[in-house]
Amino acid sequence: MATAQALKRAREVGVRKSLGSTQGQLFWQFMFETSLIVAAAVVIGLATAWFSLPYLNSWMEERIHFSGPGRLPLVGFIAGLSVLVVFLAGAYPGLVQARFQPVVSLRGQADSRQAGGLSLRRILVTTQFTISQILIIGAAVVTAQIQFARDADWGFRSGVVLTLSVPERGQMNTLREQISAIAGVKNVSFCYQPPASNSNNQTGVRFDNRPEGEPWIVNNKPADVHYLETFGLRLVAGRNLQPSDTVREYLVNETFVKKLNLASPEDVLNKKANIDGVSAPIVGVIQDFHNWELSEAISAISISTDSKSYSNCAVELTSGNPAPVLAQIKKVWENNFPDYYYECTFMDDQMEEFLESENIIMQLIRIFAGIAIFIGCLGLYGLAAFMVVRKTKEIGIRKTLGATVPGILWLFGKEYIRLIIIAFVIAAPVAWWVMNAWLQDYVYRAPFGPGIFVIGLLSTFFVAFLTVGFQSIRAAIANPVKSLRSE
């Protein structure tokens, strides 16, 4: 932007040189002006960071402070960055303007070649929009993955199920009876953990009469006989567990059967499995469900009755307003456990916790994409301003010879379109490589098709049109007589 506006200061440079200023003095004058702008930006940046830091800490659950042992390195970093920005932003424009010839400048005959031409500006604008498009594509991919996770079939019901901690197992039967009696409660189940959880019990397994244990581990989930209906888990073979307080039978999932290399779920029924040192028959096979985040593959899972391992109470509610039901559940729980703090969690909230890191990444990418787009718009605005000044006389001649407003707009537009397409050609493979590497961490992931790249390209075109449209239209509809007089 500074080089684009250099022509407007040509007469000033001519006057100063005619009064005895040297190139060095003019150069450092422009560097000092740049220093003032950078200093103001640093002050505004520090103030913004200071006031936004508490919100950032709350959002990311961090404890970042300006004070402390990292204070001196931070001051050194800001000072070094400021000096670097001053030289990067001010050196080239300062040299360009300091080299203006006084006679030519005073006559108003300084042209775009003396202002540095278009090459550097084109490179900078292309770089800015390359970064913008990479971040736009990245934000689109992360958003698609999060939406995919939210819409995915996890294999169990989550929307109307809440979990309560059970601090004392001796009160479980009483708690079940009292909560089941509440209008609006559909099912009650005691279990170690819900189907999907960050806390899972992994153990070894030996199947039937095989002499050795399997080379894989099983996720054992102790739960009562109401577990399946409470969470909507589906049987594909066999039957549900029988009521018991100890391990008498096992349910396993489809992945368990596949890992045994058996042809069908029926082949595992009534065969014994030794899981965590307890041998019992397998009486049913349930459909696979996700027991981890979507970034992890579904584990081999076993479910068995074992009341001493129950630590949670899962309550399925009927549809409708849950507030009165929740109030009654809380009252029942507090009557049974008066010495403990009551806390309940809806399964939907637990599912959101699985996506917490992805949500933070998505928000950060969106913020940085917005900043990159804004900076790219500044560069494009500077290029447009330069082109308007450079082509003023050309526009006047073209309009005098009958050129239309759309034709003049195309004169400007083709330059911007070319730079954006070049930026896209660079950004697309880089964004594909980066986001494909990120998605490698997910066993189950959203499709990564060409539509996302089209979104990035069209978004950049739209932003570019809003940025330079006003200047281009104003130049296109200007009076050609005034345009021809501009030189």
Exposure class string for 9-39: b at 16+ Cβ within 10 A, else e: bbbebbebbeeeeeeeebbebbbeebbeebe
The tens-digit pLDDT sequence of the chain (487 residues) is 666 565 566 667 667 767 777 777 777 878 888 899 899 999 999 898 888 888 888 777 777 777 766 677 888 888 999 999 888 877 777 676 666 566 555 555 555 444 444 576 778 778 888 888 888 888 888 888 877 877 777 788 776 888 998 888 788 888 889 999 998 899 999 999 888 887 778 888 999 888 888 999 999 999 999 999 999 899 999 999 999 999 999 999 999 999 999 988 999 999 999 998 899 999 999 999 888 777 788 889 999 998 888 989 999 998 878 888 999 999 999 998 888 888 888 887 777 777 777 778 778 878 887 887 787 777 777 767 767 766 767 777 777 777 777 777 777 778 778 888 998 999 999 999 998 888 887 777 777 778 888 888 888 888 878 777 777 777 767 666 565 555 5
How far is the C-alpha of 477 from the C-alpha of 342, rounded, in Å? 70
> Residue written as tokens 């919100």?
55
Kindly state the tokens that stand for 336: 């049974």
By DSSP bridging, strand 218-222 and strand 201-203 are antiparallel
Check: CB of residue 214 under 8 Å from CB of residue 259. yes
Q: Where are the beta strands (DSSP E) in 110-182?
A: 161-165
Kindly state the tokens that stand for 284: 């049913």
CA distance from start to end of the chain: 22
pTM of the entire predicted model: 0.67
> What is residue 415's three-state secondary structure?
helix
Q: HSE on the CB side for 280, CA within 13 Å? A: 22
**Residue 459 backbone zone (phi > 0: left; psi -120 to 50: alpha; other: beta):** alpha
Residue 340 is inside which H or E element, if any?
none
Q: Where are the beta strands (DSSP E) in 61-130?
A: none
Residues linked to residue 24 through DSSP beta bridges, in sequence order: none
Q: Percent helix, strand and coil across the chain, each rounded to 5?
A: 60, 10, 30
How far is the C-alpha of 250 from the C-alpha of 256, rounded, in Å? 12
